[in-house]
Amino acid sequence: MQGIAERVVNTALKQGSCDFVTDVAARIPLFVICRMMGVPESDWEHLYDLTSQAFAAGDPLTRRFAHLNILGYFETLQAEKAQNPGDDLVSVLATAEVEGERLSADDVILNCDNLLVGGTENTRIAAAGGMLALLEHPGQWQAVRDDHELLPSTVEEVLRWTSTATHIMRTAVRPTEIHGQRIEVGDKVVFWLPSANRDESVFTDPDTFDVHRTPNRHLSLGFGEHFCLGSMLARVELRLLYGELLRQGVHIELDGEPKLLDSIVVNGPETMPVRMKAA
């Protein structure tokens, strides 16, 4: 993972000007999950192109065609891994048995698709949104430059501040009351993470981006039985990305106006042009 972060940052540095979302933030989690899934390194850029089309293209037909190609790719990969398993997640799925029976090809393919999406999208948006916050608050970025021990708390503040998954809806299964609001069985209840992560009863100065914030009881990665399975992976990827920028003393500045995602499901930059230069 450290090698992937170094490789991605070095490639962006060679370009000089790049889109931080697509050229940096998107590639690190995608390449990491590809390695974990046993995708050959020669196919990483191909999957990057397909996922970029599937989740960012404006044309619905382009998105659908790209997503079908992703499923087709994993159909071939799972068949190969079933015959010649290795030490990777797809091999585990392709050879797994439940009550003495192998998982169906469709089960394996759809699990691969979920791993690819779940293992990349929110980390990509958080990484880019966190970098934007650090650029908009240069004193905070300088504080981390001066003291790399702040990196863990910086990652937690990035997760709180970006709140990339915006909301979750649930159906009440028993009556209750929350802050005077009566909720009956069957009512639809929506939980908004950006609001929870700026709860003034929990956070001091919740609308301030503060890399020193501790404790930081944000809910960006869920809680209890709904805690994000990939939470530690996301934290490590963010720490490695920002850590690599710090290690190389990279000077980074905006090179145009960032464009935010047009979505109420996820929150963060869609594009973010920057200039990057090593010290």
Mean pLDDT (the chain) is: 93
- Summarised one tens digit per residue, pLDDT across range 129-175 is 999 999 999 999 999 999 999 999 999 999 999 999 999 999 999 99
With pLDDT > 70 as the criterion, what percentage of the chain qualifies? 99
Question: Domain for residue 94, yes or no?
Answer: yes
Q: Is the pLDDT of residue 220 over 90?
A: yes
Residue 176 lies in a domain: no
Q: What percent of the chain has pLDDT over 90?
A: 80
Q: For residue 191, tell me if it sits in a domain.
A: no
- CATH at residue 82: 1.10.630.10
Q: How many domains does the chain have?
A: 1
Decide: helix, strand or coil at residue 100. coil
The DSSP secondary structure of 192-232, one letter per residue, reads EHHHHTT-TTTSSSTTS--TT--S----TT--GGG--TTHH
Query: Quick check: is 168 in a domain?
Result: no
Q: How far is residue 189's CA from residue 179's CA, in Å, rounded to a whole number?
A: 14
Domain that holds residue 124: 2-163+228-277
pLDDT at 63: 80
| CA dist., res. 188 & res. 226, Å (int) | 18
Three-state DSSP state, 13 = helix
Rounded to the nearest angstrom, the gap between the alpha carbon of residue 18 and the centroid of all alpha carbons in its chain is: 19
Residue 200 lies in a domain: no
Query: Which positions ≥6 away from 276 have C-beta within 8 Å?
Result: 12, 13, 15, 16, 17, 18, 250, 251, 252
pLDDT above 90 (res 279): no
Confidence of residue 115 (pLDDT cuts 50, 70, 90): confident
Instruction: Tell me if 202 is assigned to some domain.
Output: no
DSSP code string of 115-154: HHHHTTHHHHHHHHHHHHHHHHSHHHHHHHHH-GGGHHHH
Cα distance from N-terminal residue to C-terminal residue, the chain? 23
Tokens linked to 61: 């037909």
Among the ranges given (46-55, 172-181, 234-243, 256-265), the one the predictor scored with the smallest mean pLDDT: 46-55
Please check whether residue 223 lies inside any domain of the structure. no
Distance (Å, whole) CA 234 – CA 242: 12
- Residue 196 placed within a domain: no
Segment 27-82, tens digit of pLDDT: 999 999 999 999 999 999 999 998 888 776 567 788 888 889 999 999 999 999 99
